[in-house]
Structure 1
């Protein structure tokens, strides 16, 4: 195919002339969006292999197909980019307009590139969706807390200090960890937390270091490894387990896989036991080899199964919590406090009949919770979540009360409004006036806590605004969006002096984030 004006076959259902031109333009824009959304250099549109690929895909031999021109680099970098830029700006503006009601969380995506540069990308997230703000190279200021704080202040100022409720990082190491400690030690009016998924993964890693857990997971690994070491053994297992598999895939493979494998081993306990006493197994050459004898003895060992059940009781609640927050589309601040309590209660209940202590597991969870996750915002979220507050098992401990009051002090600057909110909180606490009707289960079910306040608390606008802003926040960090960091690296490699690259990053990231939000809603 000739370069520059190569054409692609695409069917036109709207006739010739103007309709053809409109569809041709739409087709070209789709190609442009693909490049921009995936962070592909726009000049790649001139690649002969790319043009040949489109030609091969589109040529089906239909006589009534029309031929649409593949956009040139000038098209991609000209009108196509300008239209995408305009749409990205409109998307960002729509999101920003919602911040006055819901506020937003500032998410930090930090990493070290191949050249050793310390980089960070800022995202603002709210119920309407995430938006890309800016990327920075902090290599020269990573040891200067004052300079880093000024950088945060600059980003917050651009967003609007009144709009930023909290900052969420994905790490507690390096400069970002030190900055988090700095924020925790001073009253800045903005809460600092660490991504809840990363914290749950840390809990599982630390739990995995406990001797009883290590021993069980190693034995589970040995069983699974042996079953998959030979096709004949795997076939025998499948025959006895009605086709079940021992391997379970997960997006969090490194951390979660051992615990999911443990769960699967326990569900196939009867199948494994039956397999290793069957005549088919005894007739196999493996039945007389040391590896086979070791695994067979392990499967027959009741102490192993008891220990495996104990470990499962104390780890699967954490795994379930990780999946709950990783997959959650709605804001989680109103859920996390109660969820953590229920995880610990589940552990205690699971071990109570065995008269075993949960303390080693609880200590790990509490350490991560207290030092990395918890902020007053989470206590306030629990209190203001009507589903939790009006439930019969709601527990008002000092931490929750302190969190609610601290959030009020930090977030509300005007003393007159604080006083009004305190009075309105009494009405909410006692379930008086309209809250009496709104606290009914049918009024709470099927909507988010923030939506409940937006729908039923109009008579108490100050408390309503306060509650909506708290309950509209996420507990997840930027990692959930899987940003393509190479785009930011190119921008920052130019020293920030290349407007075209800045513009490309703005369009790319906001297209990606918009798409990510859409996909999460579908899943």
Structure 2
């Protein structure tokens, strides 16, 4: 716009290529266009807004800015219309040149819309693939929700977006992300006084001389990452690790810690040291780990291994021959069997389950002409596999086996998902044993399963807090599924002794337990009973336990704890961030900050999902077995079978001092 026609020049002093504002005396390089944004108080054009501009001048400048942006948008529409299909040559309305500029008709044809987008999308796809390849990243990153959210955010930012500089990221953006992580951690910490928390220790070894330890705290509000310890050039001796854990406990307050869980049995001696210094803290073994060992031992039973072996041979034959695999896909609408893997141990039960779902399809396939004419199916192996598929006794035994182990697999699904599950493990194991007895009936068969379950339960899965949590679970107790037998009574007494140090409070709990045990209407009123079926036990106690306040506080803490270490989080807690940081020679403080931000931001997302699930009571019978989710448990279980065997041997050395026998409950 010429100088003599723009009224804004009255408020500008020009000096060569520079201009100065008469109101705030800011100096810029440019002309009236840049000053228009300055007077309009916008954040565009890298111009600082004027703090002293009069309202009349600001309004005039803002109107000019809007006119400029409108003209710019029209020019972009013109370029878009000219770069499209040749058939769009008539998109301008007939008329004079003045009207043509403002009457651009946008293409409505879907095919034309896609044709204009496809080159840009292809270019973006190739740019992402090049970045992944050149940065040596796994292609799995494309299914990462954070990566996809970043791509969507970039697209929403529009053309011209440029990523932040490394300096801006380190000095500003990372600090803002740290503040976001702090806000989440502090929100979770505030509930610890009421609900308590469970400390979890994760560790791994990199090379021969470097070890890492991570400590997390899980509670009803969510899971947070607290601190890491990196030890280079020294052994991870028990005393050193205990001192590290002890410092964390002292920071958050030992009265706020209910349990300590480690995914590895290598730290059982450290658990004894923690129990010695902090007698109120329970040392609990990971339920996911122990249940997996139960299922592993099931596979070796005399009447189980032949069934699993037959299932593996059928699946192996299908995947061994491409023609047979294609035949399977054709007759099952793309459904496939799940292939057994040597390192997944108990996952053979999931593969058996997938085979059972396709029983009718397999029986149909072996009767088709394609099967009979296939060379692999005519071979001795093919004929043997066909006989296996035709064997009705195999399918009957396989179904019987899956019905028997299904409650235990559902229990595994419950405890591994996270959340407040301590009130359910006791009854779930009991139900698993009852189901096995009901399915087999024959004592010689079901007792083999029972011996495995009792051995693992009594020796290193059972904890007093599990018995107390089952009794204090109002849903189970009110329905009569948990009785105050000798085992439950002993567990409840030990929990009260450990967690309630005040004698007056113990006496008060004894009185309140009497009312709870007698189903006093003050506690189990009409609304309270209705709430049993819609509210998680810890929430139920918070809503309806006010008439027994001391017992209420204890019950909320006990029922807010998980049963398992967070196995599902190994992928992102393990070497990924730390290895990268060490390669970059980041200082220890920066490394701690990166770990703190990365883990807590991730936990914040998973907590939002978990909170919705953790509001309702858990019905193990209604849990659906998802093979995909259970397969992740199998993948993260152990790096090799030797580790599993070593862990099992060490865990077997643990003893139950209260003389509890699970057989007495069933």
**TM-score normalized by the length of structure 2:** 0.64
Residue 179 (str. 1) matches residue 270 (str. 2): yes
Q: Provide Cα deviations, 1:351-374, integer angstroms capped at 9, x if missing partner.
A: 12x675212222222222223322
Q: Which 10-residue stretch deviates more, 253-262 or 68-77?
A: 253-262
Q: 2:375 maps to which residue? A: 285
* SS of aligned partner of 1:228: helix
2:532 corresponds in structure 1 to 444
User: In 2, distance between residues paired with 1:314 and 1:356?
Assistant: 15
CA contact 1:126–1:473 (8 Å) conserved in 2:
yes
Residue 196 (structure 1) aligned with residue 221 (structure 2)? no
Match of 1:85 among 178, 198, 203: 178
Corresponding residue number in structure 2 for 1:98: 191
SS at match of 1:334: coil
Mapped partners of 2:460, 2:345: distance in 1: 18
1:325 paired residue number: 415
- Given that 2:422 and 2:558 are in contact with CA atoms closer than 8 Å, whether structure 1 keeps it comes out as yes
Given that 1:380 and 1:404 are in contact with CA atoms closer than 8 Å, whether structure 2 keeps it comes out as yes
Q: Which whole-Å CA distance do the structure 2 matches of 1:222 and 1:120 have between them?
A: 42
Separation in 2, partners of 1:121, 1:137:
9
CA distance in 1, matches of 2:586, 2:494: 39
Q: Give the corresponding residue for 1:18.
A: 43
Alignment of 1:25-104 (within 5 A): 67-104=160-197
Unaligned runs of 5+ in 1: 1-14, 23-43, 45-53
Q: Does 1:164 align with 2:253?
A: no
List per-residue Cα deviations over 1:231-276 (Å, max 9, x = no partner): 33234445555654322799x9924532122122233334333433
Equivalent residue number for residue 428 of structure 1: 516
Alpha-carbon distance change, 72 to 285 in structure 1, aligned in 2, over 3 angstroms: closer
Counterpart contact for 1:332–1:474, Cα < 8 Å: yes
Tell me, yes or no, if the aligned pair for 2:405 and 2:432 is still in contact at 8 Å. no
1:500 and 2:525 are equivalent in the alignment: no
* Cross-structure match for 1:3: none
Q: CA deviation at 1:335?
A: 1.0
Residues 1:66 and 1:286: Cα distance change in structure 2 (over 3 Å): closer
Quote the Cα distance in structure 2 between the aligned partners of 1:392 and 1:58: 53
- Secondary structure of 1:424 counterpart: helix
Q: 511, 518, 522: which one pairs with 2:608? A: 518
- SS at 2:260's partner residue? strand
Alpha-carbon contact 2:213-2:229 (below 8 Å) kept: yes
Quick check: 2:299–2:346 contact (8 Å CA) kept in 1? no
Q: Does the C-alpha gap of structure 1 residues 92 and 371 become closer, same or farther in structure 2, counting only changes over 3 Å?
A: same
Q: Structure 1 residues 444, 58: closer, same or farther in 2, change over 3 A? A: closer
Distance 1:249 1:208, change over 3 A: closer
Preserved CA contact (<8 Å) 2:263 2:286: yes
- Distance in 1 separating the partners of 2:506 and 2:171: 52
Structure 1 residues 489 and 369: alpha-carbon distance in aligned structure 2, compared to 1, 3 A threshold? farther
Distance 1:466 1:232, change over 3 A: same
CA RMSD of aligned residues (A): 3.6
Distance 1:298 1:421 in 2: 61
SS in 2 for 1:459: coil
- 2:462 corresponds, among 374, 378, 393, to 374
Q: In structure 2, do the counterparts of structure 1 residues 370 and 509 end up closer, same or farther at CA, with 3 Å as the change threshold?
A: same
Q: Deviations over 1:6-58 (max 9, x none)?
A: xxxxxxxxx99238989xxxxxxxxxxxxxxxxxxxxx9xxxxxxxxx99999
Q: Give runs of aligned pairs for residues 99-178 of structure 1, distance below 5 A.
A: 99-137=192-230, 140=234, 142-144=236-238, 146-172=239-265, 174=266, 176-178=267-269
Pick which of 66-75 and 155-164 moved more.
Answer: 66-75
CA shift in 2, pair 1:110/1:322, >3 Å: same
> Separation in 2 of the partners of 1:341 and 1:481?
28
Paired residues of 2:528 and 2:544 also in contact (CA < 8 A): no
Query: CA-to-partner distance for each residue in 1:197-229, whole Å, 9 max, x for gaps?
Result: 222222222222323332221211110111222
Structure-1 separation of matches of 2:467 and 2:281: 15
Deviates more, 1:237-246 or 1:113-122: 237-246
Q: Tell me if structure 2 keeps the 8 A contact 1:313–1:351.
A: no
Residue in 2 that maps onto 1:299: 389
Q: 1:294 to 1:143 in 2, by over 3 A?
A: same
**2: CA distance, partners of 1:435 / 1:168:** 33
TM-score (norm 1): 0.80
Q: Does 1:477 align with 2:573?
A: no
Give the aligned partner of residue 544 of structure 2. 456
SS in 2 for 1:119: strand
